[in-house]
Structure 1
Amino acid sequence: MDQWKIGGLTLTWLDGGVTHMDGGAMFGVVPKPLWSKKYAPNELNQIELRTEPILVQGFGKNILIEAGIGSGKLSEKQKRNYGVHEEASIETSLNELGLTVKDIDMVLMTHMHFDHASGLTRKNGEEFVSVFENAAIHTSAIEWEELKNPNIRSRNTYWEENWKPIESQVCTFSETFEPINGIKMVHTGGHSDGHSIIEIHTDGQTVYHLGDIMPTHAHENPLWVLAYDDYPMTSIYEKQKWIKPDTWYFFYHDAVYRAVKWNGEGAISESIKRRANL
């Protein structure tokens, strides 16, 4: 597991699994000769996307950002289509830190697509149950409503088994919300109508997790948005608003970097690499 200490916080990336999604879909209208220079595809034109929840410690609580793809929930067809080579082993990761799933106090969800939310529940016999049974689970009210009432486009990624078992644990918000002093969730829309980002303050520094409006370091250009985005112009606007020079950004999906800081010209000035790539 990779850890990053910044200010008074420790961020630990847990083993939440991995997907390999179509590179063209992940970069929308951007031509492959451009995006492939920044994020290499495999022979199937897929790019590696980690699904590794970030454990934030230092606020007196065990806070999880995102939840991974879970384990034992995907069919063989889904694994093939989504390029899932590894499923999650969150409990093992937590045990290595001297924790269990019962020690997680809150889970912050930027949105509830299957590759972020499947790890919230697990199969127990013939039913699904909550994994983080003692945690408050935070997401935007818009995201929660769409999750429960998906449309013809979103029903393939909003799964009933990912929300019904946790319904009593969910806390929703409208525009902004501070689940604890030092952390703010901000509704942005874009990738989904209810998508949110996370802003963290520690010892005079501010760091951001922009969720899937900037899933990897290669998406720093505001115009490089996903074909999966429901509202791409909103994603562009929000990226223009939130991507700033000399500011740390950390990632859930990136297979190369854990965190990145850009200078005023858009070049990486500082970075924390994923250990597998050192």
Structure 2
Amino acid sequence: MEKLKVGRATLTWLKGGVTNLDGGAMFGVVPKVLWQPKYPTNELNQITLRTDPILLQLDGKNYLIDSGIGQNKLSEKQLRNFGVSEQSQVMKDLATLGLSPNNIDGMLMTHMHFDHASGLTNLVGDMYESVFKQAVIYTSEKEWEEMRQPNIRSKNTYWRRNWEAITEQVQTFTNEIMITDGLKMVHTGGHSNGHSIIVFEQDDTCWIHMADIMPTYAHQNKLWVLAYDDYPVTSVHQKEKWMDYGYRKQAWYTFYHDAYYRAIKFDESGERVDQLERKQSPNEVHR
């Protein structure tokens, strides 16, 4: 498990599962000839996307950034359509670190799409139960509303089995919420109407988790947004705002989906000055 220390915060990447999605959809209107050299495809034109929660340890508290795809939450058809090649190992990784789900104090949910929220519940008998029973589950007000009342497009990713069991644990916010000193969630919209990012600042150190408005390092270009985005122009403007902000801070950018990098640090001009690579297994395709 890769770790990154930034100020008081320690981040550890857990294994939340792997999907393989259409590369064209993940890069929207950007021609393949431009993005493929950065992020390779398989024979089906799919790119590998991790769904790896980040364990954030800060001031004696344990938080998880998103929850992975869970175990046995997807049907055979969904496993095939989403190209799932690995399901969650979050419980095993927590145990390796000497933690259990009950040690998690907060879930920082950037949004509630299935690949971020399926790890929140699991099937016990014939009912779904909350996995992280002691945690406050933070998400934006708009995201929580759509999670429970999805529209004709979003109902394919907002699933009842991922929210019914956690209702009493959810704490929503409108624009932003300070989780603890220096750590906040900020509503951006874009990828979904309720999408949020996470920002941590301490003195001259900073890290920013852009979630799905910058899902991989190859999406650094401010105009490279997903065809999956409900509001792509909003994604562009929010991405521009927070990339400019982070560049000035020389911030680390952390990733949930990237198969190659866990985090990258950029200077004021947007040039890479440091990086944390993901340890790949021998049979994986290297960039």
Q: Counterparts of 1:117-266 in structure 2 under 5 Å?
A: 117-202=117-202, 204-244=204-244, 245=247, 246-266=250-270
Unaligned runs of 5+ in 1: none
Q: How many residues align?
A: 278
* Cα deviation, residue 203, structure 1: 5.0
Q: Is the 8 A contact 1:15 1:88 kept in 2?
A: yes
Q: Secondary structure at the match of 1:221?
A: coil
| 2:6–2:206 contact (8 Å) kept in structure 1 | no
2:229 partner letter: D
Displaced runs of 4 or more, over 4 A: none
Is contact 1:9–1:202 with CA below 8 Å preserved after alignment? no
**Whole-Å Cα distance in 2 between the matches of residues 262 and 217 of structure 1?**
11
Would you say the 8 A contact 2:6–2:207 is kept in 1? no
Q: TM-score, normalising length from structure 2?
A: 0.94
Q: Distance in 1 between matches of 2:15 and 2:211?
A: 18
Deviation at 1:261, TM superposition (A): 1.8
**TM-fit CA distance, 1:77:** 1.1
1:100 aligns with 2:100: yes
The root-mean-square deviation of aligned C-alpha atoms, in Å, is 1.3
- The residue number in structure 1 matching 2:283 is none
Tell me the CA shift for residue 247 of structure 1.
Answer: 1.9
Question: Where in structure 2 are the equivalents of 1:2-151 lying within 5 Å?
Answer: 2-151=2-151
**% identical equivalent positions:** 58
Offset, 1:263: 3.5
SS of residue matched to 2:227: coil
Where do 5+ consecutive residues of structure 2 fail to align? 281-285
SS at match of 2:218: helix
Q: Is the CA contact (8 Å cut-off) linking 1:102 and 1:133 kept in structure 2?
A: yes
Which one-letter code corresponds to 2:235 in the other structure?
A: S
- Matches of 1:227 and 1:195 in 2, distance apart? 15
Contact 1:53 1:67 in 2 (8 A): yes
Residue aligning to 2:273: 269
**Counterparts of 2:26 and 2:163 in 1: how far apart (Å)?**
25
**1:174-201 CA distances to partner (integer Å, 9 max, x unpaired)?**
0010122221000000000000000012
What CA distance in whole angstroms lies between the structure 2 residues aligned with 1:153 and 1:52? 25
CA deviations on 1:23-51 (whole Å, 9 max, x unpaired) are 00000000000010111111111111100
